[in-house]
Amino acid sequence: MGGFESRHGLSEPSGAGPSQSAAGDDPIDLQIDDDGFVCVIAPDGYSGFVDEDWALDQLLARFVEQMNQGNLFIAYPGPDHAGADLAFEQAPSPESAIRKVAGIVHVGDAGLWLTDYTELTMAAQFEDAPPLASYSRRLPIAPGTYRVTLRERPLDGSHFLLTVAPADAETVVEHRSVPWFE
């Protein structure tokens, strides 16, 4: 795999992607962000600008809009889970969960990335700010349509599981709010 530069100015190094070794068998080390959010973004279609002086309700409405368009998956496990490990799998999981939420993302050539709430708020405030930072993690996902699922598991090892599995292009998951944000 050669290097690339996304339309948001982030480059992926040549060779192994940032999420796995060249052999492709190392586990992906992910975490819930410092604000307690899980933010997965398909930057090809993401439009995050709201206003230089946005209010929280405007920001949340933009998140819901972008989720419903398949450009973003965001959920709020909460501040008690900030920095918690986030396991990652690329197949549907029949695993039981304390709570579970799903969404659809349409991944283009710029890939699928785990970013954070801080970067999304910067993109909401400044038209030229990308929703990704140098520390954002590209997930090993090819272009296509995917169901993203976040599960909070019973207390046994990693408490949260993020799954990204292929979905039919016609699949729709309609959101009315940011999941688990109260």
pLDDT digits (tens, 9 = 90+) for 54-88: 999 999 999 999 999 999 999 999 999 999 999 99
Q: Are 63 and 72 in contact (CB under 8 A)?
A: yes
Q: What is the DSSP annotation of 59-117?
A: HHHHHHHHHHTTSEEEE---GGGTT-EEEEESS------SEEEEEEEEE-TT-EEEE-H
CA dihedral angle for residue 1, residue 10, residue 88, residue 2, rounded to 10 degrees:
0
What topology does CATH give the domain 29-166? Substrate Binding Domain Of DNAk; Chain A, domain 1 (2.60.34)
The residues, ordered by sequence, that sit 6+ positions from 91 with a Cβ below 8 Å of its Cβ are 163, 165
Question: pTM (2 decimals)?
Answer: 0.83
pLDDT digits (tens, 9 = 90+) for 137-172: 999 999 999 999 999 988 765 689 999 999 998 888
Q: Quote the CA–CA distance of 95 and 164 in Å, as a whole number.
A: 14
pLDDT digits (tens, 9 = 90+) for 95-105: 789 999 999 99
Cα distances from 51 to residues 124, 128, 130, in angstroms, run 6, 12, 14
Sheet hosting strand 30-31, strand order edge to edge: 30-31, 85-89, 160-166, 144-152, 99-107
Q: First CA to last CA across the chain, in angstroms?
A: 42
Question: Which candidate, 150, 145, 139, 151, places its Cα nearest to that of 165?
Answer: 145
